[in-house]
Amino acid sequence: MVVVRSQPAAVPAAWLPVGELPVLAAGPGETVQPVPQFPYHVQVVIGDDPVTRLAPRQIRLEVAELTADGVGQAVAAADVSSADMRSSVVVSFAGDRVSVESVVVTYAYLLGFARRRLDVHIADRVCVASRVGQWVHGLACAVRPPVVQPLVTVGNAAEFGEITAVHVDAVADENQAVVDADAATVVAWARRLLWAADRDVAVALVQLCVLAALRARGASERLPALLGADGRVVDLAAVRRSGELSRSASRSDTRFALAPVPSLSARQQRLCAAAAVDIEQVLAALGARSAVVADPASGEQMRVWHCLHPQNHTNGDATPSARVGAIASGGVGFRCLRCLSERLDPLRLVMWSEGVTVDVAADLIHQWNLASAS
Ligand SMILES: [Zn+2]
């Protein structure tokens, strides 16, 4: 049995009092601050007891069964979307039902659902996961050691006989964590990690943050297996994976979702309405004359229009030939084959015919009080 314990490095202030948390800064372009100001955007609450409000949006999870499935059902029932998890999130544990196993399993699931480390809030203190990660970073040797342990146990080592054991202590009372530098390397490179969590929930959570930070390889997280008080082993990596999978299945997390429809200004709405009126009524209002002739190709009856600028035509447009037809971008347009290179919608038609600006054309169309195109 090898116990690695040397050169402990202190992780300062793993837990911060709620009052010391920085409040959210205004986003780019936001001039109005949310009042009152909160340190987080979203607060996920597990447990029945009231908690200090840390975010404008509070989501309560009713976890009936403290397994990955149970947490997953609670997440689905609470209608938590992965979009919620993209903002600044804190997970609050409240009430008597909080046990080390329940907190750790729930937290591991939410880590997968959020695909990043989340801050934890218990009893008016918050463990800021990113800070723990920063402090732990660089503790472990970045180069693969000559001997990699197949199975390492972290925690109450004495109980596990022949297994290599290391200590990653979190001293909650002193508001700091202690990580052995040599132990850090062993933990970081061990093939499997069995973790006997401290019985204090706050200490256990810092331990988990430290272990996760030590074992992370780039964006990939490698959570340990949790050795429960009853001897049951919970694979936290698998729990985290179920959280990740449920996120993939979440309908709100589609990258193909339509962008929100921009709200049009009153002027834009007026122009759009003018462009959508019945084009034949516009032509009539402009004084255009038409005739019904037989289509030379199909023999079917069709309406042809005299051009609104007959001076452009050599014979003064004695024989009408302009047509009305569908526009590729939608709606119906008018085109004289001699004068125009494309079909014009009602708004552009009036601009071209009368030689006026878009707003004057819209004014004219609205004055005529025409029906919308069907
Ligand atoms: Zn023409």
Residue 261 placed within a domain: no
Of 253, 276, 296, at which residue does a domain stop? 253
How many angstroms is it from 312 CA to the middle of ligand 1?
6
Residues 81 and 221 in one domain: yes
Q: Is 149 a member of any domain?
A: yes
Q: What pLDDT digit, counting tens, does each position of 206-223 carry?
A: 888 888 888 887 777 889
Do 191 and 335 belong together in one domain? no
Answer yes or no: do 180 and 221 share one domain: yes
**Same domain for 274 and 125:** no
Ligand 1 midpoint to CA 373 (Å): 23
Domain count of the chain?
2
More confidently predicted of 298 and 241? 241
Average pLDDT of the chain, as a whole number: 81
Out of 155-169, 218-232, 266-280, the most confident range is 266-280
**In-domain check, residue 259:** no
Do 283 and 153 fall into the same domain? no
Is there a single domain that holds both residue 111 and residue 247? yes
For 360-370, what is the mean pLDDT?
Answer: 92
Confidence of residue 253 (pLDDT cuts 50, 70, 90): very low
Q: Reduced to 3 states, what is the DSSP secondary structure of residue 350? A: helix
Tell whether 229 and 81 lie within a shared domain: yes
Per-residue model confidence (pLDDT) at position 135 = 77
Query: Looking at the structure, do residues 165 and 300 belong to the same domain, yes or no?
Result: no
Are 159 and 298 in a shared domain? no
Beta bridge partners of 178: 10, 169
The pLDDT assigned to 26 comes to 57
282 falls in which pLDDT band (50, 70, 90)? very high
Q: Are residues 17 and 49 in the same domain?
A: yes
Choose the final residue of a domain: 229, 253, 277: 253
For the stretch 87-125, pLDDT in tens is 789 999 887 666 788 889 989 999 998 888 899 998 888
For the cut 80, the answer to whether the pLDDT of residue 167 exceeds it is no
Domain-terminating residue out of 253, 275, 296: 253
CA-based nearest residue to 212, from 148, 129, 272, 314: 129
Query: Which among 354, 340, 369 is positioned nearest to 281, based on CA atoms?
Result: 369
Residues 6+ apart with CB under 8 A from 135: 11, 12
Task: State the residue range of the domain holding 349.
Answer: 266-368
The CA 335 to ligand 1 mean position distance, Å, reads 8
Average pLDDT estimate for 142-166: 72
Task: Please give the model's pTM, rounded to 2 decimal places.
Answer: 0.61
Decide if 210 contacts 168 (C-beta within 8 A).
yes
Q: Is residue 258 part of a domain?
A: no
Ligand 1 centre from 339 Cα, in Å? 4
Q: Is the pLDDT of residue 6 over 50?
A: no
pLDDT band at 287 (very low <50, low <70, confident <90, very high): very high
Cα(318) to ligand 1 centroid in Å equals 11
